[in-house]
Structure 1
Amino acid sequence: MFTDKRPSDINDNEFESVEYKREVIESAPRVFSRNAGRMNILVADNPYHAPVEFLIKSSQLADGSNKYVVPAASQKDLYTSPQQIGPFRYRWRLGDPSASEHGHLYKFPVSSKFFHRITQGFNGSFSHSKRPNIYAVDIALPVGTDISAARDGVVIWVKDDYHMGGKNKYFLDKANYVKVLHEDGTYATYAHILIGTATVKPGDMVKAGDVLARSGSSGYSTGPHLHFAIRKNVGLKTVSIPFKFISDSGITYTP
């Protein structure tokens, strides 16, 4: 079984590698203060192509804290005062918490004439028993297999700059991936893609069946496979949600 479960023997550092590496610099959502004449403004900046929810904690807010949703690729004034903006803390989560999934059917996220086996489905005891992977699937694939969009949407994140994979904890945050936002506010994660194979970039519109990248074993992985999940923001936590696949012949099934 190929998957991304943390192994019991964390010192086992088997891995695979290729020669290529590329650096990708991406700005993150942030909160900052600025001056506008005699007024001071607390601003949230969202550079992503998807909504972001912020939680701000400050003694200057009425209840000591507040949540704000900032639309894609925009800034939002959160608080204005003639007084200097005092200390504040914040955290953020990708996605609008009001997103509501309506039972959409998803194409199998692989473009291939061959049969490919789902090695782990929903609630899999091997590595799909905890948030945010309870409703995720692992599909074993030969390296270089085309990964395709399971649903129409807009590309929000692309990372395909890492060249290695293995079972050492060093690889936990190294996986390459493509993430696609859907019209209902949910988003799909296509993880462990091969370095340098992404065919899309943030902001691109894609249709179901469009090739996004090729399969690999980047990051924390025991072998080449695609990790696929549909996720949303719930209470500033990322959760996966159940979904169904639909075959080319119209047959629906739960992985």
Structure 2
Amino acid sequence: MKYIFFILLSLTMPVSAKKLYKYQDENGHWHYTDQKPGEGQEYESRQLKSEPKRHVWLEKSGTRDKPEFTIRNTYYGPIEVEISFTERQNARAEPELPHRFVVEPGASDTLFSVTGASRFESWRFTLQYRYTLGDPAAKHRADTVYLPPVEPGKRFRITQAFGGDFSHHDEQNHYAVDIDMPIDTPVHAARAGVVMDVENDYFKNGTERAYKSRANSIRILHVDGSMAVYAHLALEKAQVYPGMRVEAGQLIGYSGNTGFSTGPHLHFAVQVNRGMQLSSVPFKFANDNGAPSEPRAGMWLSGLTTELSR
């Protein structure tokens, strides 16, 4: 007799928030709902704690004797997935696990199958998977010049640049900048691309470790496979949606003070996937004359109207 068991795990789970609406109808009855009342209805609202949502699933098909597995990726860009056994008895995979796969948006073709190593013995297994955004083959164009992600005609100061002492220590954020911006300041795309993901529902900030993954953000995939991250944005004010094509200089959202933050600002970084790890890469902003300039703490950035980068 053959037994098959699975464990399907996703290690990255962004979240979405909801609001609770309270209103009184014409009969004096109170209603509590997560659906916004109709136009003209007076109501009170309260932001609720975010609930997990998923972007990536490991799915099974095939037969009992030979289950086959695919990945469903709902990000608007590629991901790299590593799948491995956590337990196996008389089971083998083709190709052998652990194995890494690059999966484009949507449902993949069959990635691997599992069978019994010996048909005369029972077999069982459990699986786990982890994933990282981006294609590991992507190569950031080092000669790209980025527009300052600010409104044309406005100027804002960089408070923390590459290798900043406060929070730019890890690989994801070493080559990042923090730009001092009041809440609800317009944020513009620094480079053209496709919106890969939007986090729009966080409403708190702090310096506890838990807040490191709780910032509203927009991630834009560039033609060279690199990804720009605009973080700490305002609650529910994203002006773009996943899958949307944006041009350099286009309004995409508004600055805020969400996530791991001590005050209102915009965090900007360009990242690539290196070995199942998001890694920031150095970049240059266009200065007032359009010439490339490496960001430095204390530097003032001016919003430009000319599109310089693709």
Question: 2:266: which partner in 1?
Answer: 226
Q: State TM-score, norm by structure 1.
A: 0.85
Q: Give the equivalent residue in structure 2 for 1:40.
A: 67
1:36 Cα deviation from its structure 2 partner: 5.7
Corresponding position: 1:57 with 2:90? no
Would you say 1:73 and 2:106 are equivalent positions?
yes
Question: How far is 1:131 from its partner?
Answer: 1.3
Identity of aligned residues (%): 35
**Counterpart in the other structure of 1:95:** 134
1:159 to 199, 203, 227: 199
Q: Kindly indicate whether the alpha-carbon contact (under 8 Å) linking 2:93 and 2:114 is maintained by their aligned counterparts in 1.
A: no
Q: CA deviation at 1:116?
A: 0.6
- Aligned equivalents of 2:84 and 2:65: distance in 1? 23
Counterparts of 1:1-255 in structure 2 under 5 Å? Answer: 20=47, 26-35=53-62, 39-58=66-85, 59-80=92-113, 86-103=125-142, 104-247=144-287, 249-255=289-295
Change (3 A) 1:121 1:250: same
Aligned equivalents of 2:211, 2:84: Cα separation in 1: 33
- Distance in 2 between the 1:144 and 1:53 partners? 34
SS in 2 for 1:110: coil
**Following TM superposition, by how much is the alpha carbon of 1:111 offset from its aligned partner in structure 2, in angstroms?**
1.0
CA distance in 2, matches of 1:110, 1:24: 31
Question: Residues 140-192 of structure 1: CA distance to partner in whole angstroms, max 9, x if unpaired?
Answer: 00111101111000101111112222233443322111110111111010000
Q: Measure how far apart 1:139 and its partner are.
A: 0.3
Task: For residue 163 of structure 2, give the secondary structure of its aligned residue in structure 1.
Answer: coil
8 Å Cα contact 1:147-1:213 kept in structure 2 = yes
Cα shift at 1:46: 1.1
TM-score using structure 2 length: 0.71
Cα displacement (A) at 1:217: 0.4
SS of residue in 2 equivalent to 1:60: strand
1:26-63 Cα deviation digits (max 9, x unpaired)? 43212232136975211122111010111122442454
Unaligned runs of 5+ in 2: 1-44, 86-91, 117-122, 296-310
Count of matched residue pairs: 238
Q: Distance in 2 between matches of 1:198 and 1:66?
A: 36
User: Structure 1 residues 151-160 or 123-132, which shifts more?
Assistant: 123-132
Contact (CA 8 Å) 2:79, 2:103: kept in 1 or not? yes
Aligned with 1:171: secondary structure? helix
Shift in Å at residue 196 of structure 1? Answer: 1.2
One-letter identity of the residue aligned with 1:55: E
**Aligned mates of 2:67, 2:208 — CA distance in 1:** 47
Q: Which has the larger radius of gyration?
A: 2
Q: Secondary structure at the match of 1:172?
A: helix
The worse-fitting range, judged by mean Cα deviation, of 112-121 and 214-223 is 112-121
State the partner residue of 2:299: none
The 3-state SS of whatever aligns with 1:57 is: strand
- Residues 33 and 41 in structure 1, CA contact (< 8 A), matched pair in contact too: yes
Letter in 1 for 2:236: G
The answer to whether the Cα contact below 8 Å between 1:245 and 1:252 also exists between their aligned partners in 2 is: yes
Which structure is richer in relative contact order (CA contacts within 8 A, separation 6 or more)?
Answer: 1
Return closer, same or farther for 1:82/1:200 CA change in 2, 3 Å cut-off: same
Rounded to whole Å, the distance in 2 between the matches of 1:61 and 1:36 is 15
Q: Structure 2 CA distance, aligned partners of 1:207 and 1:187?
A: 14
Separation of aligned partners in 2, 1:87 and 1:170: 29
Q: Which residue of 1 aligns with 2:33?
A: none
Asked whether the 8 Å contact 2:215–2:232 carries over to 1, the reply is yes
Find the residue that maps to 1:126 and give its secondary structure.
coil
Give 1:253's aligned amino acid. S
